[in-house]
């Protein structure tokens, strides 16, 4: 079978093999890398359905990563998931009207670990093979930063620079990042929002001479390997729910900020997984929910909420989905993204059913509904949800009228958001020994102005 190559959504990047795509991160023309085809695996579902998580991950990832020897790829995957506290890696539990896919059993208690434990090992493998160095620049709204740091801390060939919006991540999320004192880890509190951090990152990656001179790479979900790793748990969860319920297909609800997680589900559906539809859930920062209702993608002001990882107005992975929506036309993508950069909005026509997309529906929650959902699921089903997951579960209730089982992605351990849990339940229920140990840990972090030049100066002085 012909090897998959990675092309840019904007058309001006030469096709890349998988390892080169991983190291490139953001395409050199400013677009995002996507596979030049999506394999159909519908005829393999029966043989895959009883595989454990690492074996299933190997079967899926190897389809997209054919420049890594299979024996070595299997070892990297097994090593990555040996760090998870639950033997199933991503267990599924029934909770009243939904099935909850628990993605928080990794080292930093968030779904980002599933991709970043693998990606950290992948970086190390490629760098050793090429005798190279890498400076990772990342923007985080909370969980990506700590998961990325956990994936690469102490690696001699990597330095990681993580920007978070100052005062806009939860105290525990901040402490998870800033308490890692390894010499290769740099935490930066940026004056501004997560969207500002993300724009700084893209600005530096689009400065190709600077990017090349400082060997910049990314662990954000603009890196294709992040999305690829997340495809796996859609298959894993669907197999277990279909097996336990006898249903021929399922639905997924995904709490969404940067669109990468739900995009992974969209790829899984395109690969032949029997998914009836994907339900996108936002909080008060509802640019994506509004888009799937109206066809208008328009920026607004970022509002701070109880689910900070969703406090995003510009979803970096949206461009990948849009690329397929416009018929894989890179010129059309370039026009749309240029207009959005200039005007802060774009318009996409709806179909004859007055929908933007037949495969994705969307809704939003707010703080009151999210906290009420946490309280109700704890009281009625003994299931404690973090505020991101609870927003998804609330929105799932708006679309759970079909017979197909609804799987809700639980993206973080509730102990990462103790204040929201106590507000919802009136009890101090959200604890975890990994987080309790951070209470008195020393921290290291530097403040940085919201300036590309300030960031360049900082990096230039410390990058390898």
d(CA 314, CA 194): 9
Does the residue 133 lie in any domain?
no
The structure tokens 């900082």 sit at 458
d(CA 15, CA 151): 27
CATH number of the CATH domain containing 247:
3.40.50.1100
Does the residue 138 lie in any domain?
no
* 355 has pLDDT over 80: no
pLDDT: which is higher, 313 or 427? 427
Of 16-20, 257-261, 437-441, the range with the highest mean pLDDT is 16-20
Q: Can you read off the two tokens belonging to residue 136? A: 């990772």
Secondary structure letter of residue 130 according to DSSP: H
Does the residue 354 lie in any domain?
yes
Does the residue 267 lie in any domain?
yes
Q: Can you read off the two tokens belonging to residue 401? A: 């009228």
Residue 109 near residue 434 (C-beta atoms within 8 A): yes
3-state secondary structure of 117: helix
Does the residue 315 lie in any domain?
yes
**What does the mean pLDDT of the chain come to?**
94
pLDDT in tens, 240-265: 999 999 999 999 999 998 899 999 99
d(CA 4, CA 275): 24
Q: 7: how many CB neighbours lie within 10 A of its CB? A: 22
∠ Cα 96 379 251 (to 5°): 25
d(CA 430, CA 413): 8
Does the residue 72 lie in any domain?
no
3-state secondary structure of 102: strand
Does the residue 269 lie in any domain?
yes
Longest dimension (CA), the chain: 59
The pLDDT value recorded for residue 316 is: 87
* 353 has pLDDT over 80: no
Structural domain count of the chain: 1
pTM: 0.94
pLDDT in tens, 83-111: 999 999 999 999 999 999 999 999 999 99
Confidence of residue 446 (pLDDT cuts 50, 70, 90): very high
Does the residue 206 lie in any domain?
no
The residue range of the domain holding 232 is 92-109+225-433
The pLDDT value recorded for residue 287 is: 92
Q: Which residues are catalytic?
A: 112
Average pLDDT over residues 345-349: 89
């Amino acid at each position: 079978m012909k090897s998959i190559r990675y092309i840019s959504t904007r058309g001006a990047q030469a096709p890349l093999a998988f390892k080169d795509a991983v190291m490139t991160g953001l395409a050199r023309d400013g677009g995002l890398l996507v596979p030049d085809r999506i394999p159909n695996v519908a005829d393999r579902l029966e043989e895959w359905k009883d595989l454990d998580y690492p074996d299933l991950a190997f079967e899926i990832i190897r389809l997209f990563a054919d420049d890594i020897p299979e024996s070595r790829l299997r070892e990297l995957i097994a090593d990555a998931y040996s760090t998870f506290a639950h033997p199933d890696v991503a267990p599924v539990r029934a909770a009243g009207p939904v099935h909850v896919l628990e993605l928080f059993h990794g080292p930093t208690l968030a779904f980002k670990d599933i991709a970043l434990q693998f990606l950290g090992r992948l970086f190390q493998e490629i760098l050793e093979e090429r005798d190279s160095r890498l400076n990772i620049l990342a923007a985080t709204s909370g969980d990506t930063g700590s998961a990325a740091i956990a994936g690469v801390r102490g690696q001699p060939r990597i330095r990681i620079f993580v920007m978070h919006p100052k005062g806009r991540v939860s105290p525990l999320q901040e402490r998870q990042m800033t308490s890692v004192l390894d010499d290769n880890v740099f935490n930066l509190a940026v004056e501004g929002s997560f969207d500002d951090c993300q724009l700084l990152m893209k600005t530096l990656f689009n400065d190709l001479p600077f990017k090349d001179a400082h060997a910049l790479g990314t662990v954000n979900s603009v890196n294709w390997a992040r999305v690829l790793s997340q495809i796996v748990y859609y298959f894993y969860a669907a197999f277990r729910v279909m097996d336990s319920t006898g249903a021929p297909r399922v639905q997924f609800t995904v709490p969404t900020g940067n669109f990468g997680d739900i995009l992974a589900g969209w790829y899984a559906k395109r690969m032949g997984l029997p998914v009836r539809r994907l339900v996108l859930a936002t909080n008060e920062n509802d640019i994506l929910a509004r888009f799937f209702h109206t066809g208008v993608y328009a920026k607004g002001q970022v509002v701070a909420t109880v689910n900070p990882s969703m406090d995003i107005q510009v979803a970096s992975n949206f461009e990948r989905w849009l690329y397929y929506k416009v018929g894989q036309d890179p010129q059309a993508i370039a026009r749309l993204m240029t207009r959005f950069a200039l005007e802060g909005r774009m318009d996409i026509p709806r179909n004859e059913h007055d929908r933007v997309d037949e495969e994705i529906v969307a809704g939003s929650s707010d703080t009151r509904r999210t906290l009420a959902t946490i309280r109700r699921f704890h009281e009625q089903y003994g299931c404690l949800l973090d505020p991101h997951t609870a927003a998804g579960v609330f929105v799932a209730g708006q679309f759970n009228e079909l017979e197909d089982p609804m799987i809700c992605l639980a993206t973080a351990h509730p102990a990462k958001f103790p204040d929201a849990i106590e507000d919802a339940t009136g009890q101090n229920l959200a604890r975890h020994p990994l987080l309790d140990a951070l209470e008195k840990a020393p921290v290291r972090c530097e403040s940085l102005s919201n300036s590309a030049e300030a960031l360049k100066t900082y990096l230039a002085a410390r990058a390898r």
